[in-house]
Structure 1
Amino acid sequence: MRITVDQDICIGAGQCALTAPRVFTQDDDGFGTVLPGREDGAGDPLLREAARACPVGAIEVAGG
């Protein structure tokens, strides 16, 4: 599985970091980003819910 956050779309709502804090965080500018080493989701049960919670659809979960 591969997780990406499209920085061109992200508006910094923070829903990803609130929903799946073991996978996502917000960078210094407030935009969502995947935590280092967590690009595969590591089986986090809230990963797909975090992707659905993104109000602009900036999170892509591929595979798995």
Structure 2
Amino acid sequence: MSNFKNYVSESYEELKNHVTWPTWAEGQKLMVIVAVFSILFSLAIWGIDEVFSGAVKQYFNWVKS
């Protein structure tokens, strides 16, 4: 248990004293970039899923006939 306590203590000290946090404005800008990328990526995945879904349906319709 002392190893875990030591780990948490050292992690807190690292975050408090050695990490450079972004400014509020920079954080907001980065959040917008991440949100836009996430939306674009999810739309791309959805599009690929639709294409493959259609291809599988066509294949089974072809095999069924």
Greater fraction strand: 1
Which structure has the higher relative contact order (CA within 8 Å, separation 6+)?
1
Greater fraction helix: 2
Give the TM-score, by structure 2 length: 0.19
Give the TM-score, by structure 1 length: 0.19
